[in-house]
Amino acid sequence: MSRRTAAVGLACLPRVFVFAADPPPVPKDTLPESISLDTLPLGLSNRPVPKGNPLTAKRVALGRKLFFDPILSADKTVACATCHQPDLGFAGVGAKAVGIGGKEGTRRAPTLINRAFGTAYFWDGRTGSLEEQALEPIENPLEMGSTVADAVARLKADAAYPKLFAEAFDDGLTADNLGKAIAGFERTLVRGDSPTDRFRIKGDHAAMTAAERHGLWIYESKGSCWKCHGGPNFTDDGLRNTGVSWGGADLGRFAVTKQDADRGKFKTPTLRGVKLRPPYMHDGSLATLEDVVEFYNRGGGKNPHLDPAVKPLDLTADERAALVAFLKSL
């Protein structure tokens, strides 16, 4: 595979930036016609699949159709793909998600890449499965502005969906199966086989440039990036306080647990495909990867609950540039 390909062949759609108070247009599904349910790209293995929702061709095809269909929103203008656009690493267009009626959300739409390997979902980790995650946006008044019951009613009234659900599930079209279908498709959104994978696993020295190899060394040593972004998915899938937007209205994980120690904690995202999805952080406050590296180089945002892994790095300009090169190679 080349640097630009991935297991799902992420689409090369034109970037569309919306400045008016309208949701971005729903992108067309330009993914490859066939998506592998069995084979994972180099660097990834052991995709978790719950026993109650096995990956089947019919379920994934149904979830794929639903993902790009605005029928799930109250006014049929917003789809899952509106906020998770393939060309942008299945993340959002801007710093804040824009949903039904042009309503602005409170956070940036996170990537769905490799969320099959996740253990908790949303920036604050409030749900424990992709099935739960898939249904929440339908009922969020800032996103799809509907209810799951009403969405199911619209699907039942549609000419195609009752038959598609009956083919995919023994009990047909239900709210539970709606979440299962979308989650099944999301589990196929995997990215791997990066130059780093080919260098590490295959020993292909030429897969990475000198700058990228230097950046990998920074990531593994002086930068200590692996402490939060380790493992095959380049994330520990944990929730950490890095000081981003500390002092603002968004308290992160604290809003879920009400535990003081959770103030300012947000999900650690995967670094795979990271160059596709600026701006960065839960609030989109860092415009470029250079800004991200500089933020961590100075030790994050100081606050009483700052994660102990976040410390000043004292990287030189050349080291910062190399680290950015490495991140882009992922």
175 in Cβ contact with 165 (< 8 Å):
no
Beta bridge partners of 280: 286
Q: DSSP E strands: which ranges in the chain?
A: 239-241, 265-267
Say how far apart CA 153 and CA 282 lie, in whole Å. 33
**Cβ-based neighbours of 129, under 8 Å, separated by 6 or more:** 50, 121, 183
Q: Which of 84, 96, 101, 112 is nearest to 13 (CA)?
A: 84
SS3 for 302-329, per residue? CCCCCCCCCCCCCCCHHHHHHHHHHHHH
- Buried b / exposed e over 130-145, threshold 16 CB at 10 Å, is bbebbbbbbbeebbbb
Out of 33, 104, 132, 143, which one is annotated catalytic?
143
* E strand or H helix at 216: helix 210-220
Q: Which helix (H) or strand (E) holds 139?
A: helix 130-139
Sorted by sequence, the CB contacts under 8 Å of residue 150 that are 6+ apart come out as: 74
Peptide bond connecting 279 to the previous residue in cis, omega within 30 degrees of 0: yes
Interatomic CA distance for residues 237 and 323, integer angstroms: 21
Q: Is 186 a catalytic residue?
A: no
Catalytic site residues? 143
